[in-house]
């Protein structure tokens, strides 16, 4: 089965040895995605804004893989402050309210940059 690697062009991909996303057949896995544009953090201090920014980035990656949000079956959200879960949930619901993938939200001590408040991974299966 063909393996399509999708790159963001980030310098870290070759250093760490990962892909932004991978499509194998009708399965797509998207790496942990943060609210960064190059080295700049978007919506600093705003977990809702970061979540929306991330989900827009994920939508773009899905399109590149010839998929869409409706194909998402699972999201995994890593937040640095679980007390902000309602803001994260509100943003997630804005994108997935009718799609309703299975999801996980867990609190982590910190992410790779101090200003990052959330990181999201996605699994999608393209319907035939």
pTM, rounded to two decimals: 0.94
Paired with 41 in beta bridges are 36
pLDDT digits (tens, 9 = 90+) for 69-126: 999 999 999 999 999 999 999 999 999 999 999 999 999 999 999 999 999 999 999 9
Arithmetic mean of pLDDT, 16-21: 89
Chain CA centroid to CA 85, Å: 16
> Alpha-carbon Rg of the chain, whole angstroms?
14
Q: With contact defined as beta carbons under 8 Å apart, do 85 and 111 qualify?
A: no
> Is 18 exposed, middle or buried (CB count within 10 Å of its CB: 0-12, 13-18, 19+)?
middle
Q: With contact defined as beta carbons under 8 Å apart, do 55 and 92 qualify?
A: yes
What is the CATH class of 3-125? alpha beta
């Amino acid at each position: 089965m063909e393996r399509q690697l999708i790159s963001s062009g980030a310098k870290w991909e070759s250093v760490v040895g990962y892909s932004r996303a991978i499509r194998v057949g009708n399965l797509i896995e998207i790496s942990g995605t943060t609210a960064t544009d190059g080295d700049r953090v978007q919506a600093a201090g705003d977990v809702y804004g970061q979540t929306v920014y991330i989900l827009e980035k994920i939508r773009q990656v899905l399109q590149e893989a010839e998929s869409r949000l409706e194909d998402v079956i699972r999201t995994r959200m890593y937040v640095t402050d679980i007390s902000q879960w309602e803001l994260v949930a509100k943003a997630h619901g804005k994108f997935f309210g009718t799609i309703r993938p299975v999801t996980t939200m867990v609190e982590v001590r910190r992410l790779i940059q101090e200003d990052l408040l959330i990181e999201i991974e996605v699994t999608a299966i393209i319907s035939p």
